[in-house]
Structure 1
Amino acid sequence: MARTILATALALLCSLALAQEIITNQQGPGGQQPNPELRKRLEQYRPVFELQNSLRLMLDLDKQKNLSFSKAQAQKLLPILKDLQTRADLKPADAGKILANIEDNILTPAQLKWMDQTQLKRQQELRQRRENGGQGGQGNNLQGPGGPGGQGGPRGGGLFQAIQQGKPFNPFKEDPARKTLTDLVALLSKR
């Protein structure tokens, strides 16, 4: 229960920070008035971004001593991941269900703990960079390349425009999220 609360709180903080930065960037210099509609739309897609971030963390998780994926875990994850590769549209509700299934039925408590701790550490690093004024061009790159604010995330253009326009959206159809998913499928296929 505590893990779920922590993960939800971290994701919400990340989503709100992402939304504020994107809204500000969309309005240009001096445009500090938030767009409530855009903020609401981004918040609706929070489960998609959480799933994207979790899959990226899973690549690093497998490199940790005593936390790598077992053959049984790989067999459960592969159909889920391959489905993500083929979807034209990844609805937030579907992403939430997929992530809940992975967390509740596939990952071990030790793996979940490592992922939560790593996410918390990244959130703290982001907060420190912001407090120190060190945003630079990668200020909201909490999730790393391809996350919401990293290269290929909402600031990347096409996918973010799909969210804004209500068109089909699947971050795993474009790099770098596509590469992350492909790499994870390749890794698990070797088990």
Structure 2
Amino acid sequence: MAMVSVGVLGMAQSVGGTARLSAYQPVFELVRMVNALAEMDKVQGLAFDRNQAAALLAKLRPLSLRENLEPAQAAALRKELEALLTPAQSAWVREWLEQQEKMARMRLAQIKSDTKPSFYMFAVPGYLGMVPELQSGKPFNPFKKGPNAARLSNLIQSLEAR
């Protein structure tokens, strides 16, 4: 499934930017993917079956345990998660992500600023709190704390119930 991809350069510039921030785009796309999976699992007829749940759990459980989530790891994991989806699930996820992007872009258009804020500030929960953490150069994993950790934990609990 081809994921819609947009840069974080605008936000990087508006907060004193770094190349590291823009390099972490695959991590933000993985956050969006996990959020989409959590939403899709609530949709009747698209929820994960037992085999999918077991495969997803094997991929998702270690995610919150990593101290640092590198962009290459995030990109590879996103592809692995996408490979576990049925065609109907893939279509739903793609549509959900596109809808979320459209809503974020509409909100961005309402901002009057000299700098170009990032699409991710509306598409990734807790994004603005992640920016300083990423720029500090310390290990970074958006699934260790905050709204993305809670969303991942809830998805794991839902999958474990199968």
Provide the aligned C-alpha RMSD in A.
2.3
What percent of counterpart residues are identical? 31
- 1:94-128 superposed Cα distances (whole Å, 9 cap, x missing partner): 11111111112x11111111111111112222223
Instruction: Determine if contact 2:26/2:71 at 8 Å carries over to the other structure.
Output: yes
Structure richer in helix, relative to its length = 1
Contact 2:30/2:78, CA 8 A, preserved across alignment: yes
CA–CA distance in 1 between the matches of 2:121 and 2:134? 19
Runs of 4+ in 1 over 4 A off after TM superposition: none
**Greater length-normalized contact order (CA 8 Å, ≥ 6 residues apart):** 2
Letter in 2 for 1:162: E
Deviation at 1:171? 0.6
Aligned pair count reads 158
Query: What runs of 5+ residues in structure 2 fail to find an aligned partner?
Result: 113-118
The equivalences for 1:1-191 within 5 A come to 3-4=1-2, 7=3, 10-11=4-5, 13=6, 16=7, 18-24=8-14, 26=15, 35=17, 38=18, 40-104=19-83, 106-131=84-109, 133=110, 141-143=121-123, 147=124, 150=125, 152-153=126-127, 155-156=128-129, 159-191=130-162
Greater Rg by CA: 1
